[in-house]
Amino acid sequence: MAIKTLSPRAQASRSTVALKALMAVSGLIMVTYLLIHMYGNLKFFQGQERFDSYLEGLRNILYPYLPHGGALWILRVVLLGAVIAHAYSAVALWRRARTASARQGAKRYHSNQNRRGVQRSYASFTLRWGGIIILAFIVFHILHFTAGVLHPGGDTDSKYQAMVNSFSIWYVTLAYVVAILAVGFHLRHGLWSAFATLGANTSTKRRRNLNIFATVLAVVIAGGFLVPPLSIAIFGYGS
């Protein structure tokens, strides 16, 4: 094992705890982005002109100090770094957990009783597969709205119109709803876990409060993302 040749400190900086901290920090960067993104999406309700000019305005942040779209590209690099760090640590910890639990995680016991453990939540045991669903969604989502490679319901230069066109198709809305719910569950456990990993869980009471905070934020983010597509799909908003 090559790892034995590292100094204790170097080894500790690659430990499960350090990996988990990397996951927490990269996750929190993405959550911050998600909050802003969700808030921005709600501008959809200000109408086509204002929504589209808001999105155009994002390209002019710090212009002329940065070139047109410069701020957005900085953001993209940061987010890509966060996704890579997050996925890297997730995969490394997942592999370790499988080895440590005789390859079967929580299903390593023969007993069919108490399969779901004593208190662990749905959100906590869907974290890993949920993360993969989210990753697949992000690729699809970028091809859809950012790159415009996919344009269900008709091609258009207006992102407002693209949203209306897309979410008038039931299966596009369904795909988004599934992905947003997956994000909601991911954040429900992930946020709590990130805070605890970074040392914020200092008492039994704090544990409860951090969990409440994580639940509220997860509901706010998922709820906020759900409103525009559902308004279009169900109430025909914007058409």
In angstroms, what is the minimal distance from the CB of 19 to other proteins?
A: 6
In angstroms, what is the minimal distance from the CB of 195 to other proteins?
A: 8
**Which of 71, 127, 142, 177 forms a contact with ligand HEM (CB under 6 A)?**
127
Q: In which element (H, E) is residue 84 found?
A: helix 70-100
Any contact of residue 34 with ligand HEM (CB under 6 A)?
yes
- Count, residues in the chain: 239
**Measured between alpha carbons, how far is residue 58 from residues 55, 115, 165, 207 in Å?**
5, 48, 22, 38
**Measured between alpha carbons, how far is residue 211 from residues 75, 172, 206, 215 in Å?**
29, 32, 8, 6
**Which of 161, 173, 193, 211 forms a contact with ligand HEM (CB under 6 A)?**
193
Measured between alpha carbons, how far is 73 from 63 in angstroms, rounded to an integer?
13
In angstroms, what is the minimal distance from the CB of 115 to other proteins?
A: 7
Stretch 71-90 residues interacting with ligand HEM (CB under 6 A): 83, 86-87, 90
**Measured between alpha carbons, how far is residue 181 from residues 45, 126, 171 in Å?**
22, 12, 15
Binding site for other proteins (CB under 8 A): 3-4, 8-9, 11-13, 15-21, 93, 96-97, 99-102, 105-106, 108-115, 117-120, 124-125, 127, 189, 192-193, 196-204, 206-207
